[in-house]
Amino acid sequence: MINVLMLSPGYPADMPEFTRGLAEAGARVFGVGDSSPDSLPPLVRRSLTEYISVRSLWDEEAVIASLRDRLRGQRLDRIECLWEPGILLAARLRETFGVPGLDMQQAQRFRDKELMKQALDTAGIRTPRHVAAQSVAAVWEAAETIGYPIILKPIDGAGSADTYRVSDADDLNAVLPRLRHVRTVSVEEFVDGEEYTFDTITVNGKIAYYNIAWYRPRPLVARSNEWISPQVIALRETGHPDLKGGVKMGFDVINALQFDTGFTHMEWYRKADGEVVFGEIGARPPGAHQVDQMKYVCDFDVFREWANAVMLGRISEGITPKYNVATIYKRARGVGTITAIEGVDRLQREFGRHVVWNTLLPVGARRRDWRKTLVSDGFVMLRHPDLATTLEMADKVGSELHLHAG
């Protein structure tokens, strides 16, 4: 029996499914987290052999002591974490308990955007021009060296939180006060182009499965304009000529960063002239239910296949893309609670057989803060084998379905 330690098995939203995947693949799953046992989702409680509750997941020494006490000498075969903040903790635990997987040095390259890009620069992979800055003066100097427009982001951030496009010196003056809480800022060249993902399940350094998704519009634009209904389109034709450069880059990045086994989520750009440029990569899956998109693209249990990769060193054969899958995230108009949903019934009648998931908040629910979650006030997920038809449906949901709050 394979013993797997799963960090934070109940949070974020996808973690219960990954925990379930491990259990169904035959693992004895030990969870560790700082949520109370009673607050764990039922799926997690059914999937765990044991849950080790700690006061804080970020007190590394206390976590190590608790694990040594509760596991009572039981051997751990794998230690898994699929949540960005816990990547370094998982690496520390692997080194402490002698478990294979990303070590601290490798994990640092996935968490520290400057170390990440330095490794890829050395490997000859095109990255944005970049400088790590720890003071206001250093940010100004980097901006002058790189040239406007630039992107400012936390060096160890995730997603597009605390990320800003800066067009000129006046913009920089306005943005810097918002980053006072960020210890180290990555100052990067702004790359103008379409933005995509390259998501992998990798086994022993070899990519066994990959997914490509297209952001419409770029996340930074979507995060800056409340009226936009952001779309993520998981693509069926991953071998399209426009994507070949990004696919090659993805394979090269996995090799350069020496990623072993598990999930990765990379973002990259394709410029108008066809040049591809690396964005960033995490040693984890994408968020905002993009893993569920993969499930609907290929009609397979992606959570179970990840578990097979981790435990058995292989995934099932014959996993191929069958559909394009669009997720359209909706933001209510107004503040307070949802008072009405306009257009949903008509669009459901029109696209019904293509809709695979609808999580729109019901009337009476309090709307969410769109700045803090891409999922916003829910989403509609739909699929179709033809990309043009998929985009047409997605655009209709974006423009003709409205949630009102008041």
How confident is the model at residue 229, as a pLDDT? 97
Q: Which of 40, 52, 103 is nearest to 283 (CA)?
A: 103
The CA angle 36-37-38, to the nearest 5 degrees, is 90
Three-state SS annotation for 246-277 = HHHHHHHHHHHHCCCCEEEEEEEEECCCCCEE
- From the list 161, 327, 334, 321, the residue with the least C-alpha distance to 247 is 321
Same domain, 255 and 224: yes
Question: Residue 200 and residue 253: Cα distance in Å, rounded?
Answer: 11
Same structural domain, 275 and 303: yes
pLDDT of the residue at 302: 98
Of 305, 322, 339, the one marking the end of a domain is: 322
Pair (217, 288) in one structural domain: yes
Spatial separation of the C-alpha atoms in residues 386 and 56, rounded to whole Å: 47
Buried b (16+ CB within 10 A) or exposed e, 269-296: bbeeeeebbbbbbbbbbbbbbbbbbbbb
Structural domains of the chain, count: 4
- Listed as ranges, residues in the chain with pLDDT below 50 are none
Q: Tell me, yes or no, whether 214 lies in a domain.
A: yes
> Residue 333 sits in which domain range?
324-406
Based on the fold, state whether residues 229 and 318 are members of the same structural domain: yes
**What pLDDT was estimated at residue 99?**
97
**Any domain includes 119:** no
Q: Do 59 and 76 reside in the same domain of the chain?
A: yes
- Residue 321 in contact with residue 199, Cβ under 8 Å? no
How far apart are alpha carbons 85 and 158 in whole angstroms? 9
* 155 and 273 co-located in one domain: no
Q: From 285, 305, 322, give the residue that closes a domain.
A: 322
Q: Residue 22 sits in a domain of what CATH number? A: 3.40.50.20
Whole-prediction pTM value?
A: 0.93
Cis peptide before 12 (omega within 30 of 0): yes
Residue 180: predicted pLDDT: 87
Do 367 and 282 share a structural domain?
no
- What secondary structure does DSSP assign to 349-406, as a single string? HHHGGGEEEE-PPPTTSBPP-TTT-TTTT-EEEEEESSHHHHHHHHHHHHHH-EEEE-
Answer whether residue 178 is part of any domain.
yes
Residues 301 and 201 in one domain: yes
User: 136 and 71, same structural domain?
Assistant: no
Token duo for residue 321 = 């893309």
Q: Across the chain, what does the average pLDDT equal?
A: 95
115 within a domain of the structure (yes/no): no
Last residue in a domain, options 322, 338, 358: 322
117 in any annotated domain: no
For residue 100, cis peptide bond before it (omega within 30 degrees of 0): no
User: Are residues 266 and 294 located together in one domain of the fold?
Assistant: yes
Note the pLDDT tens digit of each residue in 58-89: 999 999 999 999 998 799 999 999 999 999 99
Q: Is residue 172 part of a domain?
A: yes
Tokens 């969410």 sit on residue: 368
Q: 268 and 301 in one domain?
A: yes
Is there a domain that residue 299 lies in? yes
Residues 265-311 pLDDT 10s: 999 999 999 999 999 999 999 999 999 999 999 999 999 999 999 99
The reply to whether 154 and 59 lie within a common domain is no
240, 88 contact by CB (below 8 A): no
pLDDT at 161: 74
The pLDDT assigned to 159 comes to: 62
Residue 202 domain-assigned? yes
Rounded to whole angstroms, what are the CA distances from 189 to 124, 137, 147, 208, 286?
17, 18, 7, 32, 23
